A and B are shown apart, each in its own frame.
Chain A
Amino acid sequence: MRARVTIRLKPGVLDPQGEAVERGLSSLGLPGAARVRVGKVIEMDLPDGSEATLRKVASEWLANPVIEDATVEVLT
């Protein structure tokens, strides 16, 4: 199976990288850009049946539960 884990900073956690990207977008013709947040996408091949373990590892390690949320999608 092919899986995708998307990691986002929790709402309310300051994202200085997002703010810098927001300023960049403004200077490149998108002055209305707002609430920009930068996250991570991790894609991987896994043996079929790994989804439950992946969900556990994604929420405990790929994302740090103190500051981040993870969503797991099985693509194929």
Chain B
Amino acid sequence: VTVAVVTFPGSNCDRDCVWAMSVCAAAPVSKAWHKDDTLPIGTTAVLLPGGFSYGDYLRCGAMAARSPIMADVKRFADAGGAVLGICNGFQILCEAGLLPGALLRNHDARFHCKVVGLQVQGNSPLLAGYNRDELIDLPIAHGEGRYHADDATLDELERDNRIAFRYLQRLPSGDAVVNGARRGIAGIVGGRARNIIGLMPHPERRSHEDLGGDDGLPLLQAVAEHGLARGMA
């Protein structure tokens, strides 16, 4: 009965995620390695952390998406298990085809590291800890966070309530001011049971009052509790 945090070569938020999940969300945590063929026995949720897996070679997340552990992450997700991808983890989920779209270099070609305002919007059991349209602050730290998908995919995401988080500050075009993400998308919901979320901001970096706030904690808690609610324990 554990949340599996997957470490890829180049992950650098895996220890933060282990800390936030275990200390702040009070969830048992196990660690998985990218070369493992299977997730740890008793895994009830999977967390793909931020970082620069495989040095961002080819494209962000492209190498990690084809690493051995991802076959089992896909099986786990297809069976309805909760999967959360943060930052590079979001990029990996898109490259693996578990979420639609892709993440491109920020529109101003700069790396942005700061706290941003977000609106929680989507429909997913993993967002149950937030009120609809709740405004929260989370830190971002990325150079390639410009969410991109074609218009048909974006329309479908909106229609189906699968836009989980939007940046509050938007350009007249609707794109995010901070990175140019189409329609201001910071995170999306995927999976048949709405059991997958990918987002560029870092909930684990704002999961305790000592970190300046705990706006990210409800997401981590919902991910940790998802497997229990499904009777996987």
Q: Which residues of A contact B (CB under 8 A)?
A: 13-14, 16-17, 19-20, 61-62, 64, 66-67
Which among A17, A62, A64, A66 is the interface contact of B105 at CB below 8 angstroms?
A17
Further 14 A-B residue pairs, CB within 8 A, beyond A62-B58, A66-B100: A14-B104, A14-B146, A16-B105, A16-B106, A16-B109, A61-B58, A61-B62, A61-B66, A64-B62, A64-B95, A64-B102, A66-B101, A67-B102, A67-B148
Closest Cβ–Cβ distance, residue A69 to chain B (whole Å)? 13
Of chain A, the residue at the smallest CB distance from B61 is A64
Q: How far is B171's CA from A46's CA once the two chains are assembled, in angstroms?
A: 47
Q: How far is the CA of A19 from the CA of B109 in the complex (A)?
A: 9
B149 at the interface (CB under 8 A from A): yes
Smallest distance from the beta carbon of B83 to chain A beta carbons, Å? 19
The 9 sampled A-B contact pairs (Cβ below 8 Å) are: A13-B148, A14-B104, A16-B105, A16-B108, A17-B105, A64-B62, A64-B102, A66-B100, A66-B102
Q: How far apart are B186's CB and chain A's nearest CB, in angstroms?
A: 18
Q: Knowing A13-B148, A19-B109, A62-B58 touch, does A67 contact B104 (C-beta < 8 A)?
A: yes
List residues of chain B with CB within 8 A of the CB of A13.
Answer: 104, 148
Complex partner residue of A14 from B59, B107, B149, CB under 8 angstroms: B107
Chain B nearest CB from A7 CB (Å) reads: 9
Take A62-B58, A66-B101, A67-B102 as given contacts and tell me if A16 and B107 are in contact as well, using a CB distance cutoff of 8 Å: yes
CA distance A66 to B100 in the complex (A): 9
Which residues of A sit under 8 angstroms from B184, Cβ to Cβ?
none
Within 8 A of A (CB), among B129-188: 146, 148-150, 180
Bound CA span A6–B149, Å: 22
Residues of B within 8 A of A14 (CB): 104, 107, 146, 180
Closest B-chain residue to A40, C-beta based? B58
By a CB distance below 8 angstroms, the chain A residues around B150 are 66
CB distance from A5 to the nearest CB of B (A): 11
- Nearest chain B CB to A72 CB, angstrom units: 16
